[in-house]
Amino acid sequence: MKSVGGLFADLTNRAWFEAAVDDAVRGRRRRPQVARFLLTREACVRALLTRLRAGRWRPGPFRALCIRDPKPRVIAYSPLEDRLVLHALARLLERVFLPSASPASFACRPGGGTHRARLALLRHLRRRHWFVHLDLRSYFPSIDLELLRELLARRIRDRPFLSVIEHVLDAGAGFYDRSDLRRFARMDRAWPPAGRGLPIGAATSQVLAAHVVLGEFDHWLQREVRVGGYVRYVDDLFLFGDDRRRLEAIREDSSDWLERERHLRLKVPHARVRSCAGALHGLGARITHGGIAPSAEALRRLSAAAAREAWGPVHGETTVAWEDSLASRLGDQMGW
């Protein structure tokens, strides 16, 4: 597979970076932090590019935001100017890795998304007899950064660009080592090991986790193992087949490959192989031969969100923004 160069030149090109900024702030211009940035956009962009070209740009430390969505998650939050650079880096990483990405991987790519992934699951469910759902254990926090650097160096022959990426990796290394964050996220004391991890929420983390770390696994599973059907959405892996025992063997081989080649572990190493005649629960949906419906948990979350919005500061008074928000939530669950 060919390596790619010329990325740093694009990153520091004024017109290209401005286009990346436009993409990053699209739909967010009314947010106070974005609105303040736009008032001094030209000066801010000029300063960012000057630091990048001189090799002096460093991301600030990520701040932790603890949420329940519905399970507890620790999200990394960074200043807006850092997020703009991360967004630009993510776009360039996509240019390198998306052309070789498996069509079975649906996250962080044009034409992908959860709706398309659910439709793919429905197709496989109707065609095959058995499936198994594998989930990686503490995926983002357990990514081995040294291994990730090696994977990036195989495909990118641009030292200045790799240096910028390394600064981002260094800023997020050990983000999940804090004991209070591990307790909140319900991580084991022994896993993942200290010093690992990509911070959830950073644009670069999403692309690296979706396409760089597991891209080779996708191709191994489909080309060498020749699994009957396969869908992946970041760390949710769905394997399909017509022979139950062979699917169990593929599950074991997959667990071995992930631990040996990527130093990752499955949440449930011996996940049960289930019949495609029943329901598949995954990606916020309940999928059967008859079609796709929101999962019970997704409906509970939607109901709670609607109640919070409807009984906000002025009881019973809704706004166009709220109606748009509700329509968006409904569309996300129903595939509109």
Asked if residue 195 belongs to a domain, the reply is yes
CA 262 – CA 163 distance, rounded (Å): 22
CA 48 – CA 34 distance, rounded (Å): 16
Q: How many structural domains comprise the chain? A: 2
Residues 180 and 316 in one domain: no
Residues 314 and 183 in one domain: no
Asked if residue 259 belongs to a domain, the reply is yes
Mean pLDDT value across residues 104-117: 95
Q: Higher-confidence residue: 159 or 335?
A: 159
Q: DSSP class of residue 273?
A: P
Residues 213 and 131 in one domain: yes
pLDDT at position 189: 83
Q: Which residues are CB-neighbours of 136 under 8 A, at least 6 positions away?
A: 142, 235, 237, 258, 264, 265, 266, 267
Mean pLDDT value across residues 100-111: 95
Residues 18 and 155 in one domain: yes
* Residue 227: burial class (beta carbons within 10 Å; 0-12, 13-18, 19+): buried
Residues 277 and 308 in one domain: no
CA 285 – CA 296 distance, rounded (Å): 8
CA 134 – CA 225 distance, rounded (Å): 16
| Type of residue numbered 186 | R
Residues 14 and 89 in one domain: yes
Residues 202 and 280 in one domain: yes
Residues 207 and 321 in one domain: no
pLDDT at position 158: 96
CA angle 165, 169, 173 (to 5 degrees): 175
CA 272 – CA 134 distance, rounded (Å): 9
Asked if residue 1 belongs to a domain, the reply is no
The tokens describing 211, both together, are 């396409």
- pLDDT reading at 318 higher than 60: no
Residues 245 and 103 in one domain: yes
- pLDDT reading at 137 higher than 70: yes
Q: For 278-300, what is each residue's pLDDT tens digit?
A: 999 999 999 999 999 998 776 77
Asked if residue 17 belongs to a domain, the reply is yes
Mean pLDDT value across residues 125-139: 97
Quickly state the pLDDT bin for 311 (edges 50, 70, 90).
low
Asked if residue 2 belongs to a domain, the reply is no
**Length of the chain, in residues:** 336
CA 299 – CA 313 distance, rounded (Å): 24
Closest to 117 in 3D by CA, of 236, 257, 295: 236
Residues 286 and 309 in one domain: no
CA angle 113, 117, 121 (to 5 degrees): 170
Residues 328 and 197 in one domain: no
**233 close to 119: Cβ distance less than 8 angstroms:** no
State the chain's mean pLDDT as an integer: 90
Asked if residue 160 belongs to a domain, the reply is yes
Question: Which runs of E-coded beta strand occur in the chain?
Answer: 63-68, 72-77, 130-135, 229-233, 236-241, 274-275, 280-282, 285-288, 291-294
Mean pLDDT value across residues 216-221: 98
CA 284 – CA 240 distance, rounded (Å): 19
Residues 235 and 331 in one domain: no
Which residue range forms the structural domain that includes residue 313?
295-335
- pLDDT reading at 207 higher than 60: yes
Q: Is 104 helix (H, G, I), strand (E, B) or coil?
A: coil
Q: Which of 125-139, 197-211, 263-277, 301-315 shows the lowest mean pLDDT across its residues?
A: 301-315
Quickly state the pLDDT bin for 332 (edges 50, 70, 90).
low
Closest to 200 in 3D by CA, of 285, 266, 142, 114: 142
Asked if residue 112 belongs to a domain, the reply is yes
**233 close to 121: Cβ distance less than 8 angstroms:** no
Give the CA-trace dihedral at 266, 272, 278, 280, to 10 degrees.
-10
| Type of residue numbered 245 | R
